[in-house]
Every structure is written in structure tokens, then in C-alpha cells.
Amino acid sequence: MTQPTSWRLVSGKKSVDVEVHGRFSTNNVSMTLKIAEQGYGIAVLSPVVARLAYDTGTVRRVLEDWSFPPMPVHAVMTSRLVPARVRVFVDFLASRLTM
């Protein structure tokens, strides 16, 4: 996987592409949080993931009026015959991820 060279940020109807450079790149949320807690720069973190770090002051939010655009999420299943527990889980995710 290649590191993105720009981030698209949105605020209301405004959108801006920001070129990013960094020494670290990870697709692991826990590692991203640890790197941010160590003060190595700006990280993209969900408020839910970073709640404790926010509350303790280990990290702080910057660019509060800006966010990333919504990202589509797909549930892919190998069959139309879906066990009830899978259907409940997918419905739960859909209710939590719906904007």
C-alpha cells in the first residue's frame, strides 16, 4: 500500500486538498494513536478511538471544523443465505455507520 500524498478535507461545502509528507505511515489505528501521543505530528483519528487520549490531554484536536469526506463501506458475503447472527451484525454496522 502506498502512502497518500494528499488528504481531502471538507468543512461544510468547502473542500481542500492538502499535500502531506511524513516519516511514518501505518494502517493500524492503535499505532497511529501511539505515534500521535508521542508527539510525532498530526494523525487522522476517530473521536471514539481517541476519546481517552483527548480526555487526558495526551492528544488534542486540531482543525476542528474540518473532516474527511464520508467513506463507503460494503459488506460482502459469499452467499445469499446469511446466518441470522451475521444479518444482525450487518444491520448493527449499518445503523452505526449511516450518516
Single pTM value for the model? 0.67
Confidence label for 21 from pLDDT (cuts 50, 70 and 90): confident
Q: Could you state, in order of their start, the residue ranges of all structural domains in the chain?
A: 6-97
Domain 6-97 has CATH 3.40.190: yes
> Is the per-residue pLDDT at 34 higher than 90?
yes
Q: What's the rounded mean pLDDT across residues 6-19?
A: 94
**E-assigned strand segments in the chain:** 6-11, 14-19
Percent of the chain with pLDDT over 90: 51
Whether residue 1 is predicted with pLDDT greater than 90 in this model: the reply is no
With CA atoms as reference, report the closest residue to 70 among 28, 19, 10, 1: 10
